[in-house]
Structure 1
Amino acid sequence: METELIASLLERRVDFALVALYLVFIVAIGFLFSGKSNNPSNYFRGGGKLLWWMTGASAFMVQFSAWTFTGAAGKAYNDGLAVAVIFIGNSIGYFVSFLLVAEMFRQTRCITPVDAIRRRYGPVNEQFFTWAQVPLGVIQAGIWLNGLAIFTSAVFGISIEWTIVITGLVVMFVSLTGGAWAVVASDYVQMLVIMAISVTATVFVAAEFGVSNVIAEFPNDLFTNNMNYVGLFFVWSLMSISKQIFSTNNMYDASRYLVAKDSLNAKKAALLASLLMLAGTFIWFLPPMATAVMGVNLTEAYPTLGSKATDAAYLAFVDFAMPVGMVGIMMAALFSATMSSMDSGLNRSAGIMCMNFYQPVIKRGRASDAELMIVGKVITFLFGLVIVGVGLFIASLKQLSLFDIMLQMGSLIQMPILIPLFLAVFVKKVPDWAPWATVVLGVGVSLVSKYVLTPDLISSFTSMEFTGRESSDLVFIVSMFLHLTVTTGFFFWSRRFYAGLSEKRLAEVDAFFEDVTTPVVSEQEVSETDLEQRNKLGTLAMIYGATILLLPLIPQEGSQVPAILGFGLTGGIVLVIGTLLKLSARPSKARKASAARA
């Protein structure tokens, strides 16, 4: 095993060196911002001082992980553009945030999202959603880790299990170097690099094959491959978009906006995330479709992946059609993107456990800020160990694809929790028992849709024959339909039993709704904190962009021209944006004059 590992690393020594270099770069980000996390507010939400472009990039990265380039890419390799519906749903969801709720979530003025749940629904629901959501976050992080391990295993030839363990240990180390400041800062850099690489890969698709040719020559139907009933695809699309709207606009995920400097920055952040997701929808899935057009046998190319070989479809295009070294950059970006997603989850979960369980239940509100910081880091470490275990368990599910895990988890587990949290800022007069009761009922609905209303049962009543893809989609459709009708209907039905609240709770709820309708306004002048964010991230982006521009020096088997174009475009995008940030960090003449007068 050791000899095999060393041989694999030597074969990929350029790519491995780029991954190692990038990890050093990301660790530097953690140390660079670690000094700003000196109290719970700074550690768990950046003190609510982050600008819209950092907040929006972080919101985008929360919905983005290695799964996009593994499970979703595998779906595009087999079924064409059908998977793009999910990402269009994300874009629509963030646009709804821009129109309606991003500023409202920021205006809750809370440190953690469960703080807002307590203010809106009371202390019982605070504990209920703490213990309902934190385990879900750990499972989600395990899925992200597994997705990254698939790529790492395919590139370096080591087992997925070993990759999960090694990656998980690195993630835990990086997660502990800084709080929300470091997490959001690294998210922004990852967004730059990933979007730059995605654009470059799409340019190579256009240059070598032609976008229209890839679409025309794709070996399967673009949207309805392996489907007998086209109408089922449209219903699946509608349900997928509905699910993503709930996923991006609920009070628990409001944490992505709690870090924003003010209401306007939160609103702009949601719009940025929507535009980035929309742009990605049109470029992420052409490379894996080009892999299908090329006729690459993924099972032979990546034998260590076994039945999950299709999840390496994006990697195959970069591996076979792009210059030597580009795989290393993509791997490094995905490695760090997954770490950023996990950092966000770990940071939020640790914050919830500290501020919404340890502080009120264990310490009865008497824990100091210093104690909460220590406890938060200990919990982060322990959660990291659990995430590694979850990743290993998912890797053992040989017959269930990562794509199906994501959808089934979303429809069967997440939806019952998301419904009352989505409606929290829209429906005021409900009894305090309604949220947790809705979740309990929703879990029952999930079980019925999973184990009773099965595709086989529906087939026996309708005499319709479903393919494997249709059966999987049908499970998702039935579950989502029942949640949108039965579970949501139960929440509204509970209003019939609303008989008012206690005087204390009524005051809390009134104060909550007054806050969410009152804008958070910051000073209009550019603050020192704003300039610091631009200066540090601009410098980091310039350094990384300049490093990428040196990579055409790597010897190539053929002409150096593709390397010059590929690395030039990728590095140039990062370098230019970094330069613009650096220039915007210069104090204006008016500010200099004001400082001089002071």
Structure 2
Amino acid sequence: MPAFNHVNSADYALIALYFGIVIFVGWYSSRKNKNTDDYFKGGGKIPWFLAGVSNWVSGFSAFMFVAAAGFTYRYGLGAAVVFTMATWAYLVGAFYFASRWRRARINSPLEFLTRRYSPSTTYFYSVTAIVPQVIGIGQGLYILCIFVATALGFAQGQHVVLGWTFTGLELTMIAVGAVMIIYTVIGGLWAAVLSDAVQGIIILVTSLLILPITFRYLGQGEGIGAGFVRLWNEAPAGYFGLNGPTASVLFLACFAANTMLGYNVAWWQVQRYQSVPDERSARKMALLCAGLSFIGPLLWIVPVMGARVIFPNIGEIWPQFAAPAEASFVSLALLLLPHGLIGFVVAAILSATLGQASDGFNWLAATTTRDIYVPLRKKAGFSAPSETHQMRVAQLTMLVIGVLGIVAALFIARTGGAFDFGLKYYSLTGPGFMMPVLLGMIYRKTPWWSGMASSIAAFVAAFGLMAINAFPDNVYERNIVSAISAATLVFFISAFFYRADDPRSAECQRFDTDLRTPVPIDPNQPEGSLRDFQMLSIVSVLLGAVLIGCVFIPSSPLAPPIINVVAGVILFGIGGLLWRASRSKT
């Protein structure tokens, strides 16, 4: 059994500090929300750099550090092909979708469906998408907390709270979910963006450190280069080529297609493009995300490959995991990082999933408020709600969604099978919701009902094949191929029924004109929001100072406390760059 640095009071203090910072960010962000435009899309004033970092972090979750780490441990360098595919999706976004989403001139993601198709399509999506999204939030929360609770020793034992009996895992989900609800309800999209920036700093520093430390350990005193040589010599055969699922052209094609959808037409992505001031900023944001999506995964994929040599029998270390390989990243952290920085890694895993879930909260609240509540209120004969009224409804919606997400996580925890559940969930629901958006953005001469028909066709195909258990050895590929094919076929068949003189086509024609018309740059657009870099700079310096203070905490010989000083200096450097950026722009 390796000599792990198990979490101690210093690590817990750093985790608590992170949660405190996240809640502070929510409060800080709430001061920016003067109306629902600010609350849902940052008033279109968020700097492209902040929006880009936030967008990139939103693509992370505990899945990347858990399931994806396990995939890398098993299949090696082929994982780099899979987990850097977002790079190519963002490049497509930079040259096509970024400008078009900015030109869409919409205030909430689902407003696209109203303009492109019809109000009926928006209601259809609102009703059918909310439940799967809540389940998705719950599933993400569960994957995060089953890992964190087990790694920190919370998973065992029963706890009685107010007469109710909970496991440590369930209490972890409730606590983490509560923090997620608080800061998102208070701050809206500004909270999500700024907290994502804090999370991006955490992920960057952790990734920069874990790679050289891992290979220094592998080098056994002969240097980092010797560590790479050892990995090359001792890794399993085929570890540096395409093997397992990565050797399947069909799997790679399906994963690429799903990635292209998720990083170009998912609602959280649309919201980010709407949050920046102009088309140029949207393109720059997408290009930044493309670069980060290529470099970032490599920083943690390569160390996890090293874990295959360091922990050749990882199942003996983590017998309580259904898939012990998925503990490979945290095993590296517990072995090679000192106290203080270990808490930093746990905070990184927490922050990544919280950022992703908070985006789901935000667009669901925007949809429920603007696309469901306001129209229904008007139809009922009431006056149009004020901006303040809509913000309160949105906050209440976020609260309800958050509570339901926690309930979903507790339900999944009691039924088990979270990872298999997640695989089926994303491949079954993703294409059905996103294909009509992609197709409707590219081709706009189809009737008002084509979006609903395309979506229904995708779900019928995917769920129908699942019902008869067709192609059981290729479930993921079956779901993706069937849904995309059915949606595309029905969509283009519907084009034969398009009538330009149909009154219901008028809004789509105006929408088509908007997509061909660049959004003018507002010369009076304020850049005051760049001062948020100052807040992030202070947060970076604060975290750096705390880590440097951890140098006095005893640790193991394999994880000398001086590593905390290195991390602190990096954070000071990041803080200085952020402060300089704020001063040069304001």
User: TM-score when scaled to structure 2?
Assistant: 0.89
What is the deviation of 1:528?
Answer: 4.4
Aligned match of 1:493: 493
* 1:463-506 residue CA offsets vs partner (Å, 9 max, x unmatched): xxxxxxxx2xx111122222333321221111111123533x43
- Cα distance, 1:240 vs structure 2: 0.5
Change (3 A) 1:482 1:541: same
2: CA distance between counterparts of 1:328 and 1:501? 62
Give the Cα–Cα distance (whole angstroms) in 1 for the partners of residues 584 and 208 of structure 2.
33
Identify the residue that residue 107 of structure 1 maps to in structure 2. 103
Kept in 2, the 8 Å contact 1:205–1:211? The answer is no
Aligned match for 2:77, one of 58, 72, 81:
81
Matches within 5 A, 1:317-466: 317-364=332-379, 366-398=384-416, 400=417, 402=419, 404-452=420-468, 454-455=470-471
Q: 1:478 is matched with which residue?
A: 478
State the identity as a percent. 27
Please, which moves more after superposition, 337-346 or 112-121? 337-346
The answer to whether the 8 A contact 2:462-2:478 is kept is no
Count how many residue pairs are aligned between Structure 1 and Structure 2.
557
How far apart, in 2, do the equivalents of 1:449 and 1:332 lie?
40
Given the superposition, is the C-alpha separation of residues 324 and 491 from structure 1 closer, same or farther in structure 2, using an over 3 Å criterion? same
Q: Which letter does structure 2 place at the counterpart of 1:425?
A: M
Find the partner of 1:16 among 7, 12, 16: 12
Mapped to 2, the partners of 1:446 and 1:421 lie a distance apart of 18
- Contact map agreement 1:151 1:331 (CA 8 A) in 2: no
Partners in 1 of 2:397 and 2:231 — Cα distance?
48
Which segment is superposed worse, 291-300 or 41-50? Answer: 291-300
Q: 1:485 to 1:583 in 2, by over 3 A?
A: same
Alignment correspondent of 1:563: 561
CA distance in 2, matches of 1:216, 1:134: 50
Return the alpha-carbon distance in structure 1 between the equivalents of residues 370 and 172 of structure 2. Answer: 33
Q: Take 1:302 and 1:231, find their aligned partners in 2: how far apart are those partners?
A: 26
Report the alpha carbon displacement of residue 221 of structure 1 after superposing the two structures with TM: 4.1
After superposition, what is the alpha-carbon deviation per residue over 1:317-338, rounded to whole angstroms, capped at 9, x for unaligned? 1101222222210111222222
Shift of 1:549: 3.3
1:137 aligns with 2:120: no
Counterpart-to-counterpart distance in 2, 1:410 and 1:84: 21
Q: How does 1:514-533 map to 2 (within 5 A)?
A: 514-523=513-522, 527-533=526-532
Q: Label 1:222 to 1:394 Cα distance change in 2 as closer, same or farther (>3 A).
A: farther
Superposition TM-score, scaled by structure 1 size: 0.87
Q: Tell me whether 1:213 sits opposite 2:211 in the alignment.
A: no
Change (3 A) 1:199 1:378: same
Change (3 A) 1:525 1:99: same
C-alpha deviation, 1:214, in angstroms: 2.6
Q: Distance in 1 between matches of 2:36 and 2:436?
A: 27
In structure 1, which of residues 247, 254, 270 is the aligned counterpart of residue 262 of structure 2?
A: 247
- Asked if the contact 2:14/2:343 (under 8 Å) is kept, the reply is yes
Q: 1:40-59 counterparts in 2 under 5 A?
A: 40-59=36-55
Amino acid at match of 2:426: G
Stretches of structure 2 lacking an aligned partner (at least 5 in a row): 156-168, 219-226
Q: Distance in 1 between matches of 2:353 and 2:289?
A: 17
Give the counterpart of 1:307 among 315, 322, 327: 322
Q: What RMSD in Å do the two structures reach over aligned CA positions?
A: 2.5
* 1:295 counterpart residue number: 311
3-state SS of 1:425 partner: helix
Q: Which residue does 1:540 correspond to in 2?
A: 539
- Asked if 2 retains the 8 angstrom alpha-carbon contact of 1:12 and 1:155, the reply is no
d(CA) in 1 for partners of 2:171, 2:339: 25
Distance 1:95 1:431, change over 3 A: same
Q: Larger deviation: 349-358 or 86-95?
A: 86-95
Matches within 5 A, 1:152-301: 152-159=148-155, 160-209=169-218, 210-219=227-236, 221-222=238-239, 227=244, 233-250=248-265, 252=267, 253-295=269-311, 297-301=313-317
User: Aligned AA for 1:342?
Assistant: A
SS of residue in 1 equivalent to 2:443:
coil
Asked if the contact 1:85/1:241 (under 8 Å) is kept, the reply is no
State the distance in 1 between where 2:186 and 2:366 align: 15
User: Alignment partner of 1:55: what SS?
Assistant: helix
Separation (CA, whole Å) in 1 of partners of 2:370 and 2:240: 46
